[in-house]
């Protein structure tokens, strides 16, 4: 039986009083949006029913999450990722909210008496506030159970642009991958699709994760990976299947463009291996009854090196909590091991 | 003696004619002509420039006319380069162009493009060989105006489809566009959409920031088409218009393979939110949506491309296109070699003949024309 590293477990405060207790004034008295999406919440609720407990928030109780994930679902190690509260227009407030979540993550989860040694954490920073982000990173980077830096998928500016480079540089120097994840809550984000607000949750959900493509292509074209050979980025909402056609296109269409971007002289696909990772979620991979069937799942996972880039992640306690049993049965045992634990163990330097 | 007829072997779904300078204005109705088109001088409008733009203008450099005219401005040169020398049998003309930010102004421009195609390309002098088919240009953001335009030109023997820009918001599943689809379906015309590369609402607005260069801009442009597909499927467009045919031109296509998986999986997980979406997304896509082959993106290992063609059932969803006279031109003799042999007829001509009611199965033979495959 494979070891299982769950590369994406979402953690929350138990409620707003709980969060405010971790904030100093003037932030404690500010207005702050809740975790729920306003327009784009999942019909029927954001979380799996079995993780909901009266009186507290799903994903806020380390005892319950530890029992459900580590004991009942056979997870050996879980990479925790605090969700915060949307893109807030005031960067000072945003950084204060991130810092409160980090304090909660470390004290409540990573240092938990029973399960702490099987939790690893993602510290949240605010890319809009580079100075604050660097301070927050410096505060936590040497904690032995902090293994990652987290930033929102939502942004007004693509992550290849130079204002973010000090953060990427610091993360690379600290040896911490940067996870990009769709932020909970609703703030000053742009519409979630290039054609504006979608009318259905199905469309919102289908597209939202794919926004990573914009960030990734821009980071390649701007030379981020050329400049920071040790930088590693995890796109944590899934959609890794899409990297194959987009990197084919980036290479084919891109070749004549290389003269415009001399700071990124290699073929775009050369920048994937060792730099780019994906969490594999519930709707990723060829479905058994989909076009092409699932027999080809193993061959597909090899294409463009995805078998070394994809990591299983449950997204617990969200409604789309994934289960290793749903992974394609046609994968080879080696591929299954890589996705279930090998790739994450290597990326996060987790002892086996 | 009757002229010799030969079977159509290559239907080219993306050819770009361009009006010569100063020609279009006369066809734009007043007062829009004076108030918007001729009201102020305009310079070069390029941003996100293709390689060597200052020299090539994103065009095949051998397609400029001998007197310096813009590529695609001379029907006779286009006929020689695309039909005779490269070997396409039928060229579907797709006049490009940005929309205006005022929808009814865009409608007026589109009307002018239709009059111009009729007079300068589809007329007996320039279409003596009957190889050109035009597009009824329509401003999708002005649904009533677009429907009027479709009604005006439907039935023209050389118009093959409706052509809209890909960018106006919201996405196409929104019921505001229903008059456009209703008019197209009424006349059995496919609706094709092409990149407009305009400004603001005429430009894809990436939710997480603007790309830096033409490289990441053009590659990520495909996400606009991916999102249009999500909207058309999940907003029930194909349930409302069961005979609607959509052609996505120049949006690349290999992404449709994992996108079909993704949408099928989302549909399975979210069925109860959208009970009116009765079939799997991939089934709607295969029945209603076609993609043009240019730009063909391929991996180092060509076998991977072959596998992708098979898995996506490319013979059901692709139409050959060259994008003449743009710099990204795909020669039909080059393209066809990448297709699995059993899919070549479908992609190169059968799907085109089936999609466009005015594309014939046979054309008059031409002396010295290149043979494609």
Which residue among B213, B226, B308 places its CB closest to the CB of A257? B213
* Phi, psi angle pair for B214, to nearest 5°: -60, -30
Which residue among A211, A244, A254 places its CB closest to the CB of B207? A211
The secondary element (H helix, E strand) that includes residue B164 is strand B159-165
- Decide if pLDDT at B48 tops 80: yes
Structure tokens at A50: 């079995």
3-state secondary structure of B290: strand
3-state secondary structure chain A: CCCCEEEEEEECCCCHHHHHCCCCCCHHHCCCCCCCCCCCCCCCCCECHHHCCCCCCCCCCHHHHHHHHHHHCCCCEEEEEECCCCCCCCHHHHHHHHHHHHHHHHHHHHCCCCCHHHEEEEEECCCCCHHHHHHHHHHHCCCCCEEEEEEECCCCCCCCCHHHHHHHHHHHHHCCCEEEECCCCCCCCCCCCCCCCCCCHHHHHHHHHHHHHHHHHHHHHCCHHHHCCCCCEEECCCCHHHHHHHHHHHHHHHHHHHHHCCCCCCCHHHHCCCCEEEEECCCCCCCCCCCCCCCCHHHHHHHHHHHHCEEECCCECECCCCCHHHCCCCCCHHHHHHHHHHHHHHHCCCCC
Residues of chain A positioned with their CB less than 8 A from the CB of B236: none
To test the contact with chain B by mutation, choose from A194, A269, A293 the residue with the greatest count of B C-beta atoms within 10 A, namely A194
Name the band, by pLDDT with cuts 50, 70 and 90, for residue B290.
very high
- Decide if pLDDT at B316 tops 60: yes
Supply the range of the domain harboring residue A60: 5-347
Query: Looking at the complex, does the CB of residue A233 fall below 8 Å from at least one CB of chain B?
Result: no
Please give the residue that has the higher pLDDT: either A288 or B239.
Answer: B239
Q: A238 — alpha (psi -120 to 50), left (phi > 0) or beta?
A: left
Which residue among B206, B215, B328 places its CB closest to the CB of A194? B206
- Calculate the average pLDDT of chain B: 96
Say yes or no for a CB contact (<8 Å) between B234 and A203. yes
Name the band, by pLDDT with cuts 50, 70 and 90, for residue B3.
confident
* Phi, psi angle pair for A20, to nearest 5°: -65, -30
- Decide if pLDDT at A288 tops 80: no
Beta bridge partners of A47: A318
Which chain B residue shows the shortest CA-CA distance from A216?
B216
Cα three-residue angle B269-B280-A237, rounded to 5 degrees? 40
| A311 located within any domain | yes
* A68-85 average pLDDT score: 97
Which residue among B209, B274, B295 places its CB closest to the CB of A155? B209
How confident is the model at residue A352, as a pLDDT?
Answer: 54
**Which string of b and e fits A54-79 if b means at least 16 CB within 10 Å?**
eeebbbbbbebbbebbbeebebbbbb
Query: Looking at the complex, does the CB of residue B303 fall below 8 Å from at least one CB of chain A?
Result: no
Query: Looking at the complex, does the CB of residue A154 fall below 8 Å from at least one CB of chain B?
Result: yes
| A29 located within any domain | yes
Report pLDDT digits (tens) over B175-226: 999 999 999 999 999 999 999 999 998 999 999 999 999 999 999 999 999 9
- Decide if pLDDT at B312 tops 90: yes
Q: Percent of chain B at pLDDT above 70?
A: 100
Say yes or no for a CB contact (<8 Å) between A217 and B220. yes
Q: A196 — alpha (psi -120 to 50), left (phi > 0) or beta?
A: left
Q: Is the pTM above the cut of 0.90?
A: yes
Å between B189 CA and nearest CA of chain A: 24
Å between B350 CA and nearest CA of chain A: 22
| A165 located within any domain | yes
Residues of chain A positioned with their CB less than 8 A from the CB of B56: none
| A352 located within any domain | no
- Decide if pLDDT at A75 tops 70: yes
User: Is the distance from CB of A101 to CB of A138 less than 8 angstroms?
Assistant: no
Residues found in chain A = 352
Per DSSP, B346 falls in state I
Say yes or no for a CB contact (<8 Å) between A249 and B252. yes
How confident is the model at residue B158, as a pLDDT?
Answer: 98
Q: Percent of chain B at pLDDT above 90?
A: 97
Q: H helices within chain B, ranges in order?
A: 32, 53-56, 75-78, 103-120, 143-153, 178-186, 214-220, 222-234, 237-240, 256-270, 281-288, 302-312, 314-317, 332-338, 344-345, 351-355
Residues of chain B positioned with their CB less than 8 A from the CB of A200: 234-235, 273-274
Report pLDDT digits (tens) over A210-250: 999 999 999 999 999 999 999 999 999 999 999 999 999 99
Which CATH number covers residue A138?
Answer: 3.20.20.140
Per DSSP, B173 falls in state T
Residues of chain A positioned with their CB less than 8 A from the CB of B264: 287, 289-291
Rounded Cα distance between A236 and A179, Å, is: 6
Which chain A residue shows the shortest CA-CA distance from B252?
A249
Residues of chain B positioned with their CB less than 8 A from the CB of A261: 213, 215
Query: Looking at the complex, does the CB of residue A262 fall below 8 Å from at least one CB of chain B?
Result: no
* Phi, psi angle pair for A29, to nearest 5°: -95, 5
* A101-130 average pLDDT score: 98
To test the contact with chain A by mutation, choose from B47, B173, B207, B340 the residue with the greatest count of A C-beta atoms within 10 A, namely B207
Q: At what angle do helices A201-208 and B222-234 cross, to 10 degrees?
A: 160
Rounded Cα distance between A167 and B217, Å, is: 24
Going edge to edge, which strands form the sheet with A310-312? A5-11, A77-82, A119-124, A146-152, A178-181, A233-235, A276-280, A310-312
Q: What structural domains does chain B harbor?
A: 5-364 (3.20.20.140)
- Decide if pLDDT at B298 tops 90: no
Which chain A residue shows the shortest CA-CA distance from B216?
A217
| CB within 8 Å of chain B, chain A residues 303-322 | 303-304, 320
How confident is the model at residue B295, as a pLDDT?
Answer: 94
- Decide if pLDDT at B2 tops 60: yes
Rounded Cα distance between B86 and B334, Å, is: 10
To test the contact with chain A by mutation, choose from B61, B215, B291 the residue with the greatest count of A C-beta atoms within 10 A, namely B215
- Decide if pLDDT at A290 tops 70: no
Residues of chain A positioned with their CB less than 8 A from the CB of B171: 193, 195-196, 198, 203
How confident is the model at residue A64, as a pLDDT?
Answer: 97
Rounded Cα distance between A174 and A152, Å, is: 20
| A98 located within any domain | yes
How confident is the model at residue B96, as a pLDDT?
Answer: 82
Rounded Cα distance between A280 and B263, Å, is: 15
Name the band, by pLDDT with cuts 50, 70 and 90, for residue A202.
very high
Domain count within chain A: 1
Query: Looking at the complex, does the CB of residue B212 fall below 8 Å from at least one CB of chain A?
Result: yes
Structure tokens at A182: 């769709």
User: Is the distance from CB of A320 to CB of A283 less than 8 angstroms?
Assistant: yes
Per DSSP, B167 falls in state -
């Amino acid at each position: 039986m494979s070891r299982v590293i769950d590369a994406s477990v979402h953690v929350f405060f138990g409620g707003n009083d709980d969060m405010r207790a971790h904030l100093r004034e003037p932030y404690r008295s500010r207005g702050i949006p809740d975790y729920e999406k306003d327009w784009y919440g999942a019909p029927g609720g954001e979380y799996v029913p079995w993780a909901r407990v009266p009186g507290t928030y799903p994903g806020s109780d380390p005892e319950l999450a530890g029992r459900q994930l580590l004991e009942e679902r056979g997870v050996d190690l879980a990479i925790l990722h605090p969700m915060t509260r949307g893109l807030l227009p005031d960067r000072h407030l945003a950084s204060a909210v991130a810092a409160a979540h980090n304090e909660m993550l470390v004290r409540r989860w990573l240092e938990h008496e029973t399960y702490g040694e099987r939790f690893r954490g993602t510290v949240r920073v605010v890319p809009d506030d580079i100075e604050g982000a660097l301070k927050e990173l410096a505060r936590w980077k040497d904690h032995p159970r902090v293994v990652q830096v987290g930033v929102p998928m939502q942004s007004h500016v693509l992550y290849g642009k130079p204002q973010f480079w000090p953060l990427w540089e610091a993360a690379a120097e600290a040896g911490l991958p940067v996870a990009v994840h769709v932020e909970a809550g609703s703030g000053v984000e742009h519409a979630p699709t290039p054609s504006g607000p979608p009318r259905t949750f199905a469309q919102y959900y289908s597209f939202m994760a794919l926004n990573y493509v914009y960030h990734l292509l821009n980071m390649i074209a701007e030379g981020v990976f050329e400049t920071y050979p040790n930088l590693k980025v995890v796109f944590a909402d899934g959609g890794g299947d899409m990297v194959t056609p987009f990197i084919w296109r980036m290479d084919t269409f891109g070749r004549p463009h290389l003269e415009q971007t001399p700071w990124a002289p290699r073929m775009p696909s050369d920048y994937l291996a060792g730099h780019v990772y994906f969490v594999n979620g519930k709707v990723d991979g060829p479905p058994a009854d989909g076009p092409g069937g699932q027999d080809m799942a193993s061959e597909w996972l090899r294409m463009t090196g995805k078998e070394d880039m994809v990591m299983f992640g449950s997204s617990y306690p969200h409604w789309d909590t994934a289960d290793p049993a749903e992974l394609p049965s046609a994968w080879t045992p080696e591929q299954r091991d890589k996705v279930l634990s090998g790739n994450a163990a290597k990326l996060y330097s987790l002892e086996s | 003696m009757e002229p010799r007829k030969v079977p159509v072997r290559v239907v080219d779904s993306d050819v770009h004619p361009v009006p010569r300078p100063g020609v279009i204005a006369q066809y734009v109705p007043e007062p829009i002509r004076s108030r918007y088109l001729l009201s102020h001088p305009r310079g070069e409008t390029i941003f996100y420039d293709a390689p060597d733009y200052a020299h090539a203008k994103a065009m095949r450099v051998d397609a400029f006319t001998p007197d310096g005219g813009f590529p695609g401005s001379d029907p006779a040169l286009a006929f020689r380069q695309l039909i005779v020398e490269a070997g396409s049998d039928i060229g579907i003309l797709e006049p490009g162009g940005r929309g205006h930010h005022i929808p009814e102004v865009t409608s007026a421009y589109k009307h002018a493009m239709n009059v111009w195609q009729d007079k300068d390309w589809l007329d007996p002098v320039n279409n003596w060989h009957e190889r050109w088919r035009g597009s009824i240009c329509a401003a999708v953001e002005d649904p009533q105006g677009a429907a009027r335009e479709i009604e005006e030109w439907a039935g023209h023997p050389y118009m093959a489809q409706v052509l809209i820009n890909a960018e106006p918001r919201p996405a196409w599943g929104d019921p505001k566009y229903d008059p456009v689809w209703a008019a197209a379906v009424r006349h059995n015309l496919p609706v094709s959409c092409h990149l407009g590369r305009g400004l603001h609402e005429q430009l894809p607005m990436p939710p997480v920031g603007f790309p830096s260069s033409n490289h990441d801009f053009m590659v990520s442009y495909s996400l606009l088409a991916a999102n249009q597909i999500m909207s058309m499927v999940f907003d029930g467009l194909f349930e409302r218009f069961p005979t609607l045919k959509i052609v996505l031109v120049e949006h690349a296509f290999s992404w449709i393979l994992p996108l079909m998986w993704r949408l099928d999986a989302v549909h399975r997980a979210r069925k109860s939110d959208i009970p009116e979406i009765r079939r799997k997304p991939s089934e709607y896509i295969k029945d209603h949506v076609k993609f043009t082959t240019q730009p063909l993106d391929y991996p180092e290992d060509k076998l991977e491309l072959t596998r992708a063609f098979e898995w996506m059932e490319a013979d059901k969803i692709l139409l050959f296109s060259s994008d003449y006279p743009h710099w990204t031109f795909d020669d039909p003799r080059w393209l066809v070699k990448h297709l699995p042999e059993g899919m070549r007829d479908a992609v190169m001509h059968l799907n085109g003949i089936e999609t466009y009611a005015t594309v014939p199965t046979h054309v008059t033979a031409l002396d010295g024309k290149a043979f494609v495959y």
